[in-house]
A and B are shown apart, each in its own frame.
Chain A
Amino acid sequence: MWIAPALMLAQAPAAAELPKAETVLDRFVEVTGGKAAYEKRKTETQTGSVEFVGQGVKGTITAHAAAPENSYMSMELEGVGRIEQGFAAGVAWEKSALMGPRVKTGGELAQVRRESTFNGPLHWRKLYTKVETVGVEPVNGEDCYKIVLTPAEGKPETDYFSKASGLMVKRVMVANTPLGDIPTETVLSDWKQMGGVLQPGKLVQKAAGQQIAITMDSSKVNEPLPDGIFDLPADIKKLMEKKQ
């Protein structure tokens, strides 16, 4: 257990040889389509499937997003029901068949706001106050630049970008939730053209001892979104009114 970090350190190039994090992040924008391609995108609807690996629990995902920072996601899980979450007008919320409705606050709110920023890769300068390349590490046999991104509010996130392709391969972060701080690791793969830019077709997330695989099947951009899709659900409105 002691040897592995030491070996990785030995393999890492000296700091002077490492590209600046800014360069790596800007390259990511370029290899996924470039600034102009991102800027053409104003809304997006994605659909896909989700599976709790090894547990026989499967479902579907539908996500809507719009500039500048509106998001809505609905997950229908077999045997569980619907779990919805959204962000609009500064309010982050979740409505779960399991735990009911709730309004997100504090670090969790800040995290959702970052994740809801439309064309997120393009806006890393706005989303993070500090970015730093800290080394090179292999991820699934592929050498990657390890970039630590520190937001204004919340814990730093660590992204891994392939040296060869410039694509993001992994994100390691601590999810801030009322249930506690949950370390998560998400591996991104199967990059493909979706919605005018390259996006990962598959995400495998490990968190709290579980592995969740998400496969995105389709993306439609700049098409009309369902009416009122970013409106707060009635349950959430009631909670907001109670708070005030």
Chain B
Amino acid sequence: MKIVLFLLAAASVFAQAGRTLTAEQIALNVASFDKVWSTVRDKHWEKNPGGLDWNAIREEYRPRVEKAATMEQARAAMSGMLARLKQTHFGILPAGGYSEVGSPTGSGWTGIDLRVIGDQAVVKSVDAGSPAARKGVKPGWIVVSVDGRELAPLIAKLRKMDEQSRELMLYRPVQARLSGAPGSTAKIAFLDGGSKPVTVEIERVDAKGEWASFGYLGAMPVSLETRRLGNSGYVALNIFLDPGRVMPKFGDFISSCRDCDGIVIDLRGNPGGIGAMAMGMAGWFVDKAGLRLGTMFMRDNELKFVIFPRAEPFAGPVAILVDGASASTSEILAGGLKDIGRAKVFGTRTAAAALPSSIEQLPNGDGFQYAQANYISEGGKPLEGLGVIPDVVAPLTREALLAGGDPALDEALKWIRTQEKKTK
């Protein structure tokens, strides 16, 4: 049987209304706690998980779950225990949340992709033909509020979080403020290019991409965009899911771009997904057998992230775009190809959240994400806590966006053209 590796992004958190628990629910929560605790004890790659006395941790947190009067309190106790590890990819995903990420409620999309620059939510791009594009929204505009709710307090609150994965944690909740049911309307207050207030009502439509699910992760829209920018190929992937559809489309594009002077892979905002897809994609850019992106280390075993070269890989320059919201599998692909000298990385440092993990269902119905291995990129350094440092640091700026630019992409294309000259 084949071994399929599951590398997923940092856990999302979904709210659920509080209510008093029955004796049966309390028993299920305690059983869930036991499963969480024992899974970490048995599967964490360190014999003493996080350097902690894991038995003492159990004595500290189990009574809190036994006494929890609401699901929120029970989850808080379990999450609190996992937080003691100080590692990403450990989390409790509330039932009705993790399995319904893809439910139509909240999946409506305006066509705007946001990034937090400084203390402001700035429009990074507007999808051509989307409702926002039709209303004249432009990159570089600042989103002040959505449906009367200002974004500044949310950004200020999220900024207090751990610096390590701040950008990843900022991106999703802020972007989520634009979401709503398809067919609903978002009343968005902007500051336009001249910093003049503009309020626009924008209809939310079905999200870009095709819905795909994976295990208990639930359905999400998966978008693979491919196009030519001059004589360079450009591929943008929003999440590493749906390999049955994404991988052939990715391969077809690379094959069709064999005459391109270079290829840009845009992984900005990509939180990760199925780790093995990184190996499969890397095979399109490597001609030598035996190379690898890195190695995942479990307690008693290790798995090499080997690249299997395709019959006709792309031989030209490869540029990968990343930012602080590029996590997990994005970091494995970008970091690995950088380490073996096959790609140059542009943008800003990645989320530093790259631990191979799985999601299992707990007796109380919640999901439990846990990392079962450490991951060391081929350069010899872990990605967790360090991330991928770009070769060319090119942060997004509002000024560049307003001028129609995209610093990381512009630098990547400039580099590709330099490479072309070198080879001619």
Contact = CB atoms under 8 A, between A and B. Distances in A.
Contacts of B241: 79
Nearest to B216: A56
Contacts of A96: 2, 276, 280
B95 interface: no
Contacts of B359: 55-56
B216 A242 contact: no
Contacts of A82: 244
B15 interface: no
A148 B22 CA distance: 53
B56 interface: no
A177 interface: yes
A152 interface: no
B1 A212 contact: yes
A241 B310 CA distance: 12
A78 B215 CA distance: 8
Contacts of B300: 183
Interface in A169-188: 177-180, 182-183
Given A81-B247, A99-B283, A210 B311 contact: no
Interface stretch (B115-123, B165-173, B301-309): B301-309
A238 B361 contact: no
Interface string B212-232: 111110000000000000000
Contact of B312 (A102, A179, A238): A238
A208 interface: yes
Chain A at the B interface: mostly helix, strand, loop or mixed?
strand
A83 B310 CA distance: 16
Nearest to A105: B289
B274 interface: yes
B311 A238 contact: yes
B301 A79 contact: no
A57 interface: yes
B360 interface: yes
A46 B403 CA distance: 62
Given A57-B215, A180-B303, A80 B243 contact: yes
Q: Kindly name the residue among B1, B303, B311, B312 whose own CB sees the greatest number of chain A CB atoms within 10 A.
A: B1
A107 to B, nearest CB: 15
A86 B221 CA distance: 33
A99 B308 contact: yes
A97 B244 contact: yes
B358 interface: yes
Interface residues of B, number: 43
Contact of B279 (A80, A81, A85, A99): A99
A41 to B, nearest CB: 23
B141 to A, nearest CB: 36
Q: Kindly name the residue among A80, A83, A101, A102 whose own CB sees the greatest number of chain B CB atoms within 10 A.
A: A80
B137 interface: no
Nearest to B244: A81
A205 B304 CA distance: 20
B334 interface: no
A214 B244 contact: no
B301 A183 contact: yes
A54 B303 contact: no
Contact of A182 (B3, B6, B243): B3
A77 interface: yes
Given A55-B215, A81-B243, A238-B311, A208 B304 contact: no
A55 B303 contact: no
Nearest to B42: A209
Contacts of A179: 3, 303-306
B1 A98 contact: no
Contacts of A78: 213
Contact of B276 (A52, A99, A180): A99
A38 B359 CA distance: 42
A55 B283 contact: no
Contact of B3 (A57, A80, A208): A208
Interface in A87-111: 94, 96-102
A207 interface: yes
A178 to B, nearest CB: 5
Nearest to B251: A100
B43 A209 contact: yes
A239 interface: yes
A97 B414 CA distance: 33
A231 interface: no
Q: Kindly name the residue among A97, A102, A238, A242 whose own CB sees the greatest number of chain B CB atoms within 10 A.
A: A97
B298 interface: yes
Contacts of A239: 311
Q: Kindly name the residue among A85, A100, A239 whose own CB sees the greatest number of chain B CB atoms within 10 A.
A: A100
Interface in A67-84: 75, 77-83
A55 B6 contact: yes
Interface string A200-244: 000001011110101000000000000000000001001101100
Given A98-B279, A180-B301, A77 B4 contact: yes
B358 A80 contact: no
A125 B308 CA distance: 34
A179 to B, nearest CB: 5
B242 interface: yes
Nearest to B307: A99
B277 interface: yes
B1 A54 contact: no
A177 B3 contact: yes
A238 B255 CA distance: 14
A94 B247 contact: no
Interface of B: 1-6, 43, 212-216, 241-245, 247, 251, 274, 276-277, 279-280, 283, 298, 300-306, 308, 310-312, 358-361, 372-373
5 contacts: A56-B359, A97-B243, A98-B277, A182-B3, A209-B298
Given A56-B216, A178-B304, A214-B1, 6 more contacts: A55-B360, A80-B244, A98-B274, A99-B283, A101-B308, A207-B3
6 A-B pairs with the lowest CB-CB distances in the bound complex, closest first = A81-B244, A238-B311, A79-B214, A56-B215, A98-B276, A56-B216
